[in-house]
Structure 1
Amino acid sequence: MEITHIESTERMSRIVKHNGTIYLCGQTAGSDEWDTAEQTRRCLEKIEGLLEKAGSSAERMLSVTIYIRDMKDFTELNNVWDAWIADKPKPARACVEARMASQNVLVEFSVTAAEV
């Protein structure tokens, strides 16, 4: 079975496709100016764009793992997530508090989806 790598760098690929499944690299939107809600919105926009580029959509997500810098921001994240996912099929989801690679990153999303 073929494995397709899209938007690859020396370190990683933004999208990997294999056997009808799409894997996205971790999506972040770190900026000193953005709070958790805005970073979440920006990540979800990026996810939609990458899934479309890969031949899928948010409606085809299988699982999402969310890494959050501080669980005190869990409600803020969920308010944005709940509004965005409201009219879509719900993927399996996990949310984990994690130390991030940069102080500016408050949330990071890892997504697996099915091809159309």
Structure 2
Amino acid sequence: MTVHRHNPGPRMSQAVRVGDIVFLAGQIPQDLSGDITTQTREVLAGIDRVMAEFGGSKSNVVSVQVWLSDMADFQGMNAVWDEWLDKDNPPARATGGVALARPGMRVEMIATAHL
């Protein structure tokens, strides 16, 4: 099976495709001063962008891990998630509270997709 590393860098690739499976690196917000809704929109837009580069969409996403720096943001993140979600093709999902890599970062998501 062929492995394709998408936008590889010195530390990681933006995504890795193995056959029909795409593993996205953690998608993070750019605006670290934004609230949870702003940051969640940016993260989901990142998933959309990477999926489009592979010729797919959010409908192809089969699993998402959501990491929140504060579980009090759960409802705000879910409000944006529910607007974004393809209701006919919802992925499996888990959400957890963690210390994220940068100050001000409120959410990070890791997705896996099938093309």
TM-score above 0.5, yes or no: yes
The equivalent of 1:98 in structure 2 is: 98
Could you say if the C-alpha distance between residues 41 and 88 of structure 1 is closer, same or farther in structure 2, counting changes exceeding 3 Å? farther
User: CA offset at residue 19 of structure 1?
Assistant: 1.9
The answer to whether the aligner puts 1:110 opposite 2:114 as a matched pair is: no
Matched-pair contact (CA < 8 Å) for 1:29–1:43: yes
The answer to whether the aligner puts 1:67 opposite 2:67 as a matched pair is: yes
- Determine the C-alpha separation between the residues in 2 that align with 1:76 and 1:85: 14
Aligned pairs (5 A) from 1:76-91: 76-91=76-91
Instruction: Give me the CA root mean square deviation.
Output: 1.1
Unaligned runs of at least 5 residues, structure 1? none
Matched-pair contact (CA < 8 Å) for 1:65–1:111: yes
Give the residue type in structure 2 aligned to 1:48: D
- Secondary structure at 1:101's aligned position in 2? coil
Give the residue type in structure 1 aligned to 2:71: M
- Secondary structure at 1:78's aligned position in 2? helix
The answer to whether the aligner puts 1:4 opposite 2:4 as a matched pair is: yes
TM-score by length of 1: 0.94
Shifted more, 65-74 versus 51-60: the winner is 51-60
- Secondary structure at 1:47's aligned position in 2? helix
Matched-pair contact (CA < 8 Å) for 1:69–1:98: yes
- Identical aligned residues as a percent: 31
- Determine the C-alpha separation between the residues in 2 that align with 1:5 and 1:32: 27
TM-score by length of 2: 0.95
The equivalent of 1:38 in structure 2 is: 38
The equivalent of 1:26 in structure 2 is: 26
- Determine the C-alpha separation between the residues in 2 that align with 1:20 and 1:86: 20
- Determine the C-alpha separation between the residues in 2 that align with 1:86 and 1:112: 15
User: CA offset at residue 31 of structure 1?
Assistant: 2.8
Matched-pair contact (CA < 8 Å) for 1:2–1:18: yes
- CA offsets 1:51-77 (integer angstroms, 9 cap, x no match): 010222100111000000000110000
Matched-pair contact (CA < 8 Å) for 2:58–2:86: no
